[in-house]
Each structure stands twice: as C-alpha cells, then as structure tokens.
Amino acid sequence: MQFRNRANQNINYNSPLTLQTAPAGVPLQVTAIQAGHTAAARLASMGIFPGETLRIVQRENSGPILVEIKGTRIALGQGISEKVLVSANGFAG
C-alpha cells in the first residue's frame, strides 16, 4: 500500500512504522510495542497491543496524536506514539 507523506513523496506502508509516520485515516494493525513494561502496560490498558486495529484520526506537527480504537478516541503524546509500531499491510482495498 502506498501513500504520500507530508513532503508529497510516495511511501510504502506495508512495513512496520511508528504512529508518528503512519498515514492518518486508514486502518492500521499494531505489530509491536517497543517500550518498557510500564509503558507497554499503560498502552495495553488503553486497548493498544499487538494484533489490535486502530486508526489515526488527527495528527498535528506538534502535540498529541488522536487515535480511534473500537469506537473510542485516545490522545497519545509524541513520545509514547513513537513506541507503537503499526502496519497497513493486509488492509489494501
């Protein structure tokens, strides 16, 4: 699956990316959490864990990323969103 990034370049989003670099508005599957136990447990308590599907609703250049998981919207700071790896692979339509 290919999208254009902010610089209008084609990017292949089949390989894992962080929530900071993944496209907004498309279904994404969480592939891994690259964080310590505390941060991983906090993400899991919000429903963010490997195998789960989410969608980036809003992302600004600075500030939190708004994601939607099972109808619930959650704001994640930039630091923790860098620890969540996602892939759009398998969702090409």
pLDDT at 16: 75
* DSSP element (H, E) containing 81: helix 78-81
Where exactly are the structural domains of the chain? Answer: 13-87
Query: How many other C-beta atoms lie within 10 A of the C-beta of residue 38?
Result: 8
CATH fold for domain 13-87: SH3 type barrels. (2.30.30)
Asked if residues 1 and 89 have their Cβ atoms less than 8 Å apart, the reply is yes
Residue 40 is predicted with a pLDDT of: 94
Helix H or strand E encompassing 11 = strand 10-12
- pLDDT of amino acid 87: 92
Give the pLDDT of residue 60.
82
Helix (H, G, I), strand (E, B) or coil at 43: helix
Whole-prediction pTM: 0.79
pLDDT (tens place) for every residue of the chain, 93 residues total: 445 544 445 555 556 799 988 989 999 999 999 999 999 999 999 999 999 999 999 988 788 999 999 999 999 999 999 999 999 865 544
Strand partners, 54: 28
28, 81 Cβ separation under 8 angstroms: no
